[in-house]
Amino acid sequence: MPQLPHLFSLRRPRARWLAAALAVLTVGAMPAPGLAALPPAVGAQPLPSLAPMLEKVTPAVVNISTKTRVRVRDPYFDDPMFRQFFGLPGTPRERVEQSLGSGVIVDAAKGYVLTNNHVVGGADDISVTLQDGRTLKGKLIGTDPDTDVAVVQIPATGLKALPLADSSTLRVGDFVVAVGDPFGLGQTVTSGIVSALGRSGLGGSGYQNFIQTDASINPGNSGGALVNLRGELVGINTMIFSPSGGNVGIGFAIPTRITSEVMQQLIAHGKVRRGSLGVQAQDITPRIARILGVKADSGVVVTQVATGSAAEAAGLQPGDVIGAIDGKRLRSADDLRNAEGLLPLGSTLKLDVLRDGKTRSVSATLTPEKLATLDGGRLDPRLAGVSFSDLPQQLRGQGIAGVAVSAVGSRSRAALAGLQANDVVIGVGNRRVTSLRELQALAGARPRQLVLVVADDDGAHYVVVQ
């Protein structure tokens, strides 16, 4: 059976087989006897070279290594009665995970480094190694899992930064160069072209608007630079599409139009504040179009409009079909979600809306999404230090139900039990939880053993809070 292609983030631990692989590659790469290097010039005309540009670029591209302490879950060890019976210690068991990635210095004066969230998110220790060999301790300024962007700060001494280009001016066919640290080998440069723009629908729940390139990108390139021939940053390398995990000429980078906006918010607020139209929508289908009595082969149909939202102020109603935003045709509900999530708070959108067989244009301004919150300590003393909130529209639109964990105190009982910010509580004991009101009713009863059913990136598991 042929192997199906997969999407891979590019962060990889340092491989033990590296030395053996290098030996094989070195032998295979030795020049044949009698071959001479190309001359620096043919007649009076020098040969074209990227070297002058790269001399300015490479000092700004760094290697990032992280250490993350991960709690080891065990159904017996996590049970307080089991630990008490056998006299086991109450401190959770941990293991340390190490990984490698890349980053780009974008502000030499303040020491800001752009990288991927999946490179540094959740890391306990961050080390940044410069091209000149210096290794500096990195401070995490903020991360945005929805766009896979993060900002790290290092001591600003003798740094060189890359200027940011406007990625919206890129065209398919433009030459680009990728710089990073694949496989932990050391800084590596590859070249190619822009293969496509605006790529989305690649799986996952984040906002997607990728640059696709055939410049060779491999594991360890996460967070590295994609630059134009002027040496300006146009994107941050983030993932590859591959049947085997190796490069096959399909790589993706986050354009600077997105990373620059996210970076500004992370530096200013430590997180990204997004706006929302306040609608729930689904893809239009021929059957839905017949039911609504409209002729539409693309777009999304509005199924719900939140009270007090930007959509309500703009006059949107359930049953409306949104065909385009700012002149760009919507192909799916994911396109609508991307348009909301990738634009700054306060942006005004022009919506082409089909209602009763007539198309009209309306404007709506992205406003902050108002989410109800709840202090866990008011529910149960064991949940002191935990803040809960309703799920944002982004997750509800994907059919996810539960209650978001918005914050967890580092020394709280819940933190010691393994509860983390961004977890989603989907149950208490054997009872399902879909809203703050249900969580308040179940946890507020203060059961003798407080067992939360939690969903995260690794799936669902129990968290027993003592």
Q: Which residues pair with 110 in a beta bridge?
A: none
- Active site (annotated) includes residue 148: yes
The CA distance from 8 to 351, in Å, is 34
b/e string for 195-209 if b means 16 or more Cβ within 10 A?
bebebbeeeeebbbb
> What's the burial of 1, exposed, middle or buried (CB within 10 Å: 0-12/13-18/19+)?
exposed
- Active site (annotated) includes residue 309: no
176 C-beta neighbours (distance < 10 Å), count: 23
In the block, tokens 């997105």 appear at: 258
Q: How many CA atoms does the CB half-sphere of 306 hold within 13 Å?
A: 18
The CA distance from 454 to 463, in Å, is 7
Cα angle for residues 169, 164, 231 (degrees, 5° grid): 90
- Residue 465 phi/psi, 5-degree rounding, is -100, 120
Q: Which residues pair with 61 in a beta bridge?
A: 104
For residues 127 and 136, the answer to whether their CB atoms sit within 8 Å is yes
Specify the pairing of strand 210-213 against strand 251-255.
Answer: antiparallel
| Ranges assigned E (strand) in 89-166 | 94-107, 112-115, 125-129, 135-137, 139-144, 149-153
Catalytic residue, chosen from 167, 222, 242, 309, is 222
Catalytic residue, chosen from 78, 144, 146, 148, is 148
For residues 330 and 323, the answer to whether their CB atoms sit within 8 Å is yes
Catalytic residue, chosen from 78, 118, 335, 380, is 118
Sign of CA pseudo-dihedral 51, 57, 60, 66:
negative
Active site residues: 118, 148, 222
